[in-house]
């Protein structure tokens, strides 16, 4: 029986037999090592306002080419992009080399005022190799690279990427270990990546408020205080949950609860925004 390959990208460290996919559905064992199966496979492409990422304090009013592939190393029952994040690659895609994607970004910069590329929709860090090679070319072209990420990766992954990344929006999905465990995530790992990113590029954070997961006032108090201990000027986006994916029978987050959570966060942070309300 052949020895299994261990994926080094995130804390899951999936042990994979030849041809087997990891939990993320985007990495696979090939010739004794784990590689990115989703390299250059683009499932989603759109020129979006930067505020949709959401990034409110990074070149506001501009537009950015938003790019998605497939795969994610968390299992959120409320995922808004589950068709691609949880697909395991069984969906339509178009292949773009890093050069081709950068070329498209440059064309749109001239014709539409595009400022760069945002890797979003699915989890970009599970396919960090493609992000890295593209981001290098984007920087050479004088454009920006943005990551919209759940922050679930090992330190070395971000170390490779950060020299070429200009801004990140990181999902802080809960502020308890129990909350993260329910999503098959790791609370400490995400906090570590937020700290790491804060030292190198523009960072904004997003917490989708899901009833029963992370809507307690005490939890928001702890979250906002922790963020402020890193940087009280870090923007926090508190967004409203609507029924999605495996939580179609749930109720949307109460707007009054959202407003109350915003007031709690504003005790510590200078920029708190409500979304989806």
Residue 17 lies in a domain: no
SS3 category, 55:
coil
Q: Is position 109 within any domain?
A: yes
> Where residue 70 sits, what CATH number does that domain have?
3.20.20.70
**Phi, psi at 172, each rounded to 5°:** -105, 90
- pLDDT tens for residues 139-171? 999 999 999 999 999 999 999 999 999 999 999
Domain count, the chain: 1
pLDDT at site 89:
67
Low-confidence stretches of the chain (pLDDT beneath 50): 1
Kindly state whether residue 19 falls inside one of the protein's structural domains. no
3-state secondary structure of 230: helix
Predicted local confidence at residue 1, as pLDDT: 47
CA nearest neighbour of 42 among 93, 113, 8, 80? 93
Structural domain range at position 175: 42-275
- Residue 91 has a pLDDT of 83
Q: Is residue 185 part of a domain?
A: yes
In a domain, 6, yes or no: no
Is residue 135 assigned to a domain? Answer: yes
Assigned domain for 114 exists: yes
Residue 63 lies in a domain: yes
Strands 114-119 and 167-171: unpaired
Say what the pLDDT of residue 3 is: 87
């Amino acid at each position: 029986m052949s020895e299994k390959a261990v994926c080094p990208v995130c804390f899951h460290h999936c042990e994979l037999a030849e041809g087997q996919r990891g939990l993320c559905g985007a990495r696979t064992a090939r010739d004794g090592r784990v590689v990115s199966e989703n390299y250059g496979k683009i499932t989603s492409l759109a020129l979006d306002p930067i505020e949709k990422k959401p990034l409110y304090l990074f070149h506001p009013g501009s537009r950015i080419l938003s790019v998605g592939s497939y795969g994610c190393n968390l299992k959120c029952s409320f995922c808004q992009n589950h068709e691609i994040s949880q697909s395991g690659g069984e969906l339509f895609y178009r292949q773009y080399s890093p050069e081709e994607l950068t070329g498209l970004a440059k064309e749109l910069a001239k014709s539409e005022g595009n400022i760069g590329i945002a890797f979003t929709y699915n989890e970009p860090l599970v396919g960090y190799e493609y992000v890295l090679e593209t981001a290098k070319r984007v920087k050479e072209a004088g454009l920006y690279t943005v990551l919209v990420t759940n922050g679930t990766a090992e330190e070395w992954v971000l170390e490779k990427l950060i020299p070429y990344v200009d801004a990140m929006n990181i999902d802080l999905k809960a502020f308890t270990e129990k909350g993260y465990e329910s999503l098959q995530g790791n609370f400490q790992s995400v906090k570590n990546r937020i700290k790491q990113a804060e030292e190198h590029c523009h960072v904004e954070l997003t917490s989708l408020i899901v009833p029963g997961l992370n809507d307690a006032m005490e939890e928001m108090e702890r979250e906002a205080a922790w963020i402020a201990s890193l940087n009280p000027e870090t923007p926090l986006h508190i967004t409203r949950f609507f029924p999605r994916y495996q939580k179609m029978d749930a109720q949307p987050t109460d707007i009054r609860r959202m407003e109350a959570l915003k007031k709690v966060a504003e005790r510590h942070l200078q920029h708190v925004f409500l979304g989806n309300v």
